[in-house]
Structure 1
Amino acid sequence: MITDFEQELAAYLNTHLDAPFAGRVSVSDGDAKGGGAQPAILVGVTRTAWQPAEMGPKHGEIVPGSTDLRRVLRLVCTAEIGVYPSSSGKRGQEISGMEQIAYLLDASEVRNGKAFEKPGDQGFIIHSLQVTEGSAPLISGGTEKAGLTMEVRGWFWPKGKPGLTGIAIARIRVRGVGLTLSIAPSPAVLRAGGPPQEFSLSLPATGPLAVTESGAASAGPFGTLYCAIRTRDGSNPLGTLSGGVAALDGGRLIELAGEEALLTYTPGAQATVEDLVIALENGESGEGIELGRVPVETVEEV
């Protein structure tokens, strides 16, 4: 995670700095450096903060080197680079090291994190890196050291860990219909107290379509439609439907076979106008998405 980034930052500087700093960069172990025959450069993350806009529960992310969703920390890190001169280098060597490092870190491929990208799971991805501050004390060798401060934004995660897993989807069943829905007769005018009227519904339909892990698809019978009689004012309907089987809420479940379904409406004893509603069955023997409706008028016998 953060230590992986520290190592990559040190490795980048080691291979891009000029003498006498090339190969002299390491991740800080907490001990003081400098004063030897060669200069030393230490790097390390000294503070971390969570990115405010990314707080709260999150789904996993696809990260480099992994095809599984991974849970990541979205961090803003403060990283520091300290330049420690050799016993003969003094402040001029500190300034030289800082200049070289600042120039390297200003390259676009470093600022956007591309310079740290490698094949495989690295445990981090850097979205931005920016030098924010530099310091070079006037008196070299004191308690205050020369160096640079950076703001680093990125995602961090334990590398090599399994991704987020769940129940594998072995099959998806899809049921679809096409428009237009045809109902005959439409509109319908019946006689109050008269004989039942058979309605024919025609609907281009596919399903359920079963898609398995292998990608194979096979279509089965569509199944049922939901049908009901509704009044315009919300009162109890006078006419009744028959055919199919009873739905849970008073409607009927009508089998759709060969893109056609049949049901029967029996008019009531009084004149009225009601609507025959056709909808998808919702999977629980009830009303789903409405597909269409047709007015059914019952008139008094003259």
Structure 2
Amino acid sequence: MTDLSALNLAGLLTRATSQGPGVDDDTATVATGVVLDVDTDARRVRVGIRGGDVWLPAVAGRYARTGPARVLIDPTTSRPVLALGPSRPLPPVIPATVTGVTDARVLVTFDGGAFTVPSVTGVYEVGGTAWVMLDDWGRPAIALGPSVEPPPAQPLPPVPAQDAVVTATVTIAPQVSGTYSLRESAWDQWHTDRHDGRADIYQGDAAGSGQLRGFAGYGDQIANLGALSIDSAVLTVRRVAEAGSGSLTVRGTTHGTRPEGEPTDGAFALASSEQIPAGGVGSIDLPATLRESMRTGDARGLVAVGTAYGGFGGTATPGSFTLAIRYTKAA
């Protein structure tokens, strides 16, 4: 009889669904970057953040070059998506250098740009300064009168552009799975009518099975991330509900789809889980060499090659043989 109590259902949901971000994930949705350049015509700001720089659409603000700015981070991709405004905006009124005077207008330079603005009546001197009010984007809007303040320092040139790099996370499920019998030299020879059938992934030899090789193919999903590096890849598996417990051992393979013959192919690193009980969930941190092979597309699948007999869910078991990947990519 199935226990449908609220407590049991809560436990089933906990095991079947993600329990939030990992301890290494940066879940902050607002970060602080450095303003490198401002393009007021395009309403965008170039921001240095997380080791790189990127042009972002921006909320209007009096951004100061080399000053801090608040940046909105996409919680799904961990990519910066919007400059929310300067943390320390320019003052609303600043001294600007006067370069010319016409009827009711003054030519001023500020932050490397030249501006012609209307002026309040006053005696403006070329080479002197004037108090100038800035608009919402930090551009001179009107001269309020002559100033005795010294001319502002020449602005620093924009920082040369760099290739921006951001960190992202993704969970990838296999596109195909199954088990190959070495004894029979064929697929789908073991327990096709139990648990989740032909999609399950078995390893080892027990009860007359002969040596089994389970397979999970991820196709080009990982290579298509365009990752600059894969910093972490955690394989999560669910053991089928058979008696006993054991560990899972996997090896990378060049096959991303189910081959005609044995799926083991390529000299890739091995990785093993802890002991996983019947019906339980376990995980494997894939080693750096295998992660790199998956990043480049040399390894496109995993093969269960352990000697300890055991079955694990494949494509028909939600959340099993999934890869939680943390990687870097160009912004």
Q: Which has the higher helix share?
A: 1
Q: Same fold (TM over 0.5)?
A: no
Superposition TM-score, scaled by structure 1 size: 0.33
Superposition TM-score, scaled by structure 2 size: 0.30
Q: Which has the larger radius of gyration?
A: 1
* Greater RCO structure (CA 8 Å; 6+ sep): 2
